[in-house]
Amino acid sequence: MRTGTLLCALLSALGYGAGWPVHKACSGPNLQMLYQSCDPLQDFGFSVDHCSKELPSNLKIRFGLILRQDIKELFLDLALFTKGTSVFNFSYPVCEDDQPKFSFCGRRKGEQIYYAGPISISGFQIPQGDYQVLLQMYNENQAPVACANATVIAT
């Protein structure tokens, strides 16, 4: 119960409110990633295979969700905060009409998708600290596809 209490206290301190449950994307000796879906309509599943402060350049992830929009075009927006201040913003085209980068590009509304595979990032080491990450995915009509509030704790 004590660890549960601690976790709850931690999560409420991190600003997780009511809504979908908070999931653990990965947990390693020096890194922990927690996330909560901020799409009011649905939850989604996500995990990272390699959980360490030293992120490899070809990080393997797994995710599963139901599409509520067509994703002929899909964009990812990522905002990173630490101690409440914004430190990093980033937008990435995942699927474009003239360049569908991943095999799931072009799937349609209502399809359930499961992806297990690499995402190419330039490998880097996460400095010690607590980070809040807001992740948003949307399609060509700005319609939301997925939304996540995540916390990364590097010790």
Partner 1 sequence: MPSNVLGFLFAVLLSASYQIISSLDQKCTEKEVNKTYNCENLGLREIPDTLPNTVEFLEFGFNLLPAIQNTTFSRIINLVFLDLTRCQINWIHEDTFQSHLQLDTIVLTGNPLIFMAETSLNGPRSLRHLFLIQTGISNLEFIPIQNLKSLESLYLGSNYISSMKFPPNFPTQNLKVLELQNNAIHYLSREDMGALRQASNLSLDFSGNDITGIEPGAFYSKNFQSLKFGGTLNVSVILNGLLNSTIQSLWLGTFQDLDNQDITPAMLEGLCRMHVHSLNLQNHYFSDVSLTMFQCFTGLQELDLTYTHLSVLPSGIAGMTLLKKLVLNSNHFHQLCQISAASFPFLTDLFIKGNLEKLDLGVGCLEKLEHLEKLDLSHSQVEASECCNLQLKTLPHLQNLNLSYNQPLGLQHQAFKECQHLQNLDLSFTQLRVDSSQSPFQNLQFLQVLNLSHCVLDTSNQNLLAGITNLQYLNLEGNHFSDGNIPKANLFQTLSTLKTLVLSLCELLSIDEQAFQHLEKLSYVDLSHNSLTSSSINALGHLKGLYLNLAANNMDIIPWHVLPILSQQSTINLSLNPLDCTCTNIHFITWYKENLKHVVNLEKTVCANPPALRGMKVSDVELACGMTTVGILFLFVFLLLFIIGLGFLVKFLLRWKYQHI
In the complex, the residues that contact partner 1 under the rule CB under 8 A are: 1, 4-5, 8, 12, 18-19, 40-41, 66, 68, 98-103, 105-112, 115, 117-118, 120
Least Å distance between CB 139 and partner 1?
15
Nearest distance from C-beta of residue 50 to partner 1, angstroms:
16
Nearer to partner 1, 105 or 133 (CB): 105
Q: Using the minimum distance from each CB to partner 1, give the nearer residue, 24 or 60.
A: 60
Task: Spell out the residues 6+ positions from residue 10 whose beta carbon is closer than 8 angstroms to its own.
Answer: none
Residue 109 pairs with which residues in a beta bridge? none
3-state DSSP call for residue 78? strand
The C-alpha atoms of residue 110 and residue 132 are separated, in whole angstroms, by 30
To partner 1, the closest distance from the beta carbon of 91 in angstroms equals: 13
- What would the two tokens of residue 154 be? 């590097």
Nearer to partner 1 (CB atom), residue 9 or residue 87? 9
Per the listing, tokens 């990633």 go with: 33
Shortest spacing between CB 98 and partner 1, in angstroms: 7
The answer to whether 64 and 44 have CB atoms below 8 angstroms apart is yes
* Residue nearer to partner 1 on the CB measure, 47 or 82: 47
Smallest distance, partner 1 to C-beta of residue 108, A: 6
| Closest of 62, 131, 145, 73 to residue 106, by C-alpha | 73
Q: Quote the Cα angle for 36-41-46, to 5°.
A: 35
Cβ-based nearer residue to partner 1, 66 or 80 = 66
